[in-house]
Amino acid sequence: MSGSNPRSSSSSAAARSPTNRAKKTAAFAQECAISFAKECTESTKGPSSSSNPQGNHRGKDSHVVHDYVSETKQYFVRATLELHAPLSEILELFAPTDPDDSDPFFSRLFDRAIDVSTVARHLGDGGTLLPPSNQMPTDDEPRPLTKGPVARSTVIKRIRFHDKKQWQKDLLCLEHVEPLSATNVVRFYESVDSWSDIRLSSTDSWTKESSGSTTLSAPHHENLTFGFLFEKISRANRLRLTFLGYHTTATRGDETCLWLGKVATSLAMVKNLVLRRRLTQDSV
């Protein structure tokens, strides 16, 4: 996995063609999220030596693996974390509960020195019904449905960083949350390189959430894909959290690579966040 380019270049090109921009923000986002979840699962099996051609760069920092593929000019980073916690407890760390905090995880990661706004929200989203993980019927059987752990959602977010000495670029991105089963959830992100990708989408399916200028005057992250896969891997509430990020760049170690690296290494803070929440709840 590390050292290869598992994302389909043809799919990425199709997403940016004028006839498919609506898919990029709705149905196509769901397709990408499901494919991305499979990549996360495959990546945890570990890179093979055959997928690491000469000239690649690798580094390890506990749970973090990163790689730069010279031939494709693609930076790759993966981080994994396993812990004992209910799936719902971990999902709550990433889901907004305060109307003024539209991305609690990134707010904590950057010490709240960011402004996060939801630019647009897909109107067709809502609760998703899923087959129970232990009751997967055959094609000829009726498919019983249960409520998924989270609702499917698709939004366009904009993140501005206060510390311009370190983070000069803003992030305008598509965020898609997909409940894959009663025990698996993926949060998928892809940079939106131009406001035209939003304006040319199916406007009857979107509602604009924020006011202000619709211009990208500040530098912003481009050619960026990343996300989180949440998996319950045992009956004893043992979870695996996987972060995966890709960035196509001619300059290894540019700001976007550093940003991905920061997010990857921060995955370890999830255990501390869970502990703090439990201590707070116990003291109430």
pLDDT digits (tens, 9 = 90+) for 110-148: 988 898 888 877 766 554 333 333 333 344 443 333 456
Mean pLDDT, residues 233-262:
93
User: How much is the pLDDT for 141?
Assistant: 40
pLDDT over 70 at 95, yes or no: yes
SS3 annotation, the chain = CCCCCCCCHHHHHHHHCHHHHHHHHCHHHHHHHHHHHHHHHHHCCCCCHHHCCCCCEEEEECCEEEEEECCCCEEEEEEEEEEECCHHHHHHHHCCCCCCCCCHHHHHHCCCCEEEEEEEEECCCECCEECCCCCCCCCCCCCCCEECCCCEEEEEEEEEECCCCCCCCEEEEEEEEEECCCCEEEEEEEECCCCHHHHCCCHHHEEECCCCCCCCCCCECCCEEEEEEEEECCCCCEEEEEEEEEEECCCCCCHHHHHHHHHHHHHHHHHHHHHHHHHHHHHC
The model's pTM? 0.76
**Protein fold of 9-45+55-283:** Alpha-D-Glucose-1,6-Bisphosphate; Chain A, domain 4 (3.30.530)
